[in-house]
Structures are given as structure tokens and as C-alpha cells.
Homo-oligomer: A and B are copies of this chain.
């Protein structure tokens, strides 16, 4: 299925999107699976993965590939930046104004066609700030 296709509105998709929209925590596929299971106990993890992928391709949600092993999902489809805690892995939004000009600048340094940029911060979240064991 390619970008722009209209997806059928199934119960699974409704609930997935609804749960994802409720939180600001950028859950992983597995976390979402646990959340959705409370409302749809028979849903499978494969369905969660497949639909998150489809909804991301459709531009309804964002798939984040910020550091760490697992991908995370963001119900806010509008471009914005993120910050990740090096200790606990928590990912927050960071509503810094978008640096549109970096793409223009960057074009002077490469032969690539630049389509987008992603700016990602890392550090320690408030909860991890005292006990900042290294990582």
C-alpha cells in the first residue's frame, strides 16, 4: 500500500490511533500493544506493527527513529523535535521553532537532494538528573 491510500477505518485502527493520541510519551509498538489490548484483548502484535507502519506511511502519525533499539510512535503528525533521556530512554517533544534555514544552508555542502531534517537532543530528564549513572 502506498502513500495517500485511504485506509479502512477498522476497530483496531480507531483504537490504536485513539490510544496513541491520548499520550505524549511516544510509545513503542509493544507499549502500544499493551495499551490497546485493554480495549481489544484479541488484537495481535503483528496487527499493531502493521497498522502503525501503514498510518505512518499515510502521514497520520510519525514513526520516530530516535536513538535506542526500538522505534517509537508519535500521534502528532506535525514536524517537531524531540529530546531523549540517555538514562531511562524517555522521549519528550521539544517545541523549539523549526530551523527551516538549516536545509538551505546544508544544500551548499552536499549533492544530495535534501527533503527533510531531524534535530534530536539528548541529556537527562528531570527524574534522572540526580542519579545520572553513565550510559
Residues of A within 8 A of B (CB): 2-3, 65-68, 81, 83, 85-86, 92, 94-96, 99, 102-103, 105-106, 109-126, 129, 134
CB contact under 8 A between A134 and B65, given known A96-B109, A103-B121, A116-B123:
no
Identical copies in the complex: 2
Dominant SS among interface residues on chain A? mixed
Query: CB distance B121 to A83 under 8 Å?
Result: no
The 10 closest A-B pairs by CB, nearest first: A115-B123, A114-B123, A113-B123, A113-B124, A65-B67, A111-B126, A112-B123, A117-B121, A118-B120, A119-B119
Query: CB distance B2 to A83 under 8 Å?
Result: no
CB contact under 8 A between A95 and B113, given known A3-B134, A102-B119, A119-B118:
no
Query: CB distance A124 to B134 under 8 Å?
Result: no
